[in-house]
Amino acid sequence: MISTPYPWPWHGSLDPRRLAILAVTCPSPPGGPSAAAAGEVAGQVAGAVRKAGGLVVRVRVRPPLRPSAGLAAAAPFGDPPAVEDGGDAADLEARAAGWDGFHGCPLDELLRAAGRDLLLLSGCCLELGVHSTMRSANDRGYECLLLSDACAVADASLGRAALSMIEMSGGIFGAVGSSTALLRELS
């Protein structure tokens, strides 16, 4: 598949039975047309992934609570998803205890039990929960592809920097691609 900085997945075999899309959501998503467009793209991809035999996982992240550090506690974790999966319920849902979707929840165990090691990342916000979840997935041995057009950003300059960090050192955290290339590959 066409992606940067390397063709994804690195081993060349896109097996939908090993594929999952993580739709990362945060409690205070940015509004506006870019968030709506990213949500629509993520929904299309989720539908195609499910149809091909892949898994749709909603990952709800939140700011970590730090009351002991003298900081005010984060706002309560709400339910509004920033990126929908095509109107259908997710196959699985994980609620993380911080920005990293693996932190304090059984996401790793759920994915491994389902035999999923090829991860697509989408959602909100790219430079917060999506990026943190991708880095953590990479550390756990998952092969990751961030779908740049299926991610909303809170700050455009930070979003560009987050994409650059993924592609550094030959794809230190995975690869970056578009939904168009992925959908072409899945069909």
Q: What architecture (CATH level 2) is domain 19-63+80-186?
A: 3-Layer(aba) Sandwich (3.40)
Residue ranges covered by each domain of the chain: 19-63+80-186
Q: Is 38 helix (H, G, I), strand (E, B) or coil?
A: helix
pTM: 0.87
Cis upstream peptide for 64 (omega within 30°): no
Q: Is 26 helix (H, G, I), strand (E, B) or coil?
A: coil
Question: Does residue 9 have a pLDDT over 60?
Answer: yes
Arithmetic mean of pLDDT over the chain:
87
pLDDT confidence of residue 33: 66
| Chain segment 60-109, per-residue pLDDT in tens | 999 877 655 544 433 333 333 333 334 456 899 999 999 999 999 999 99
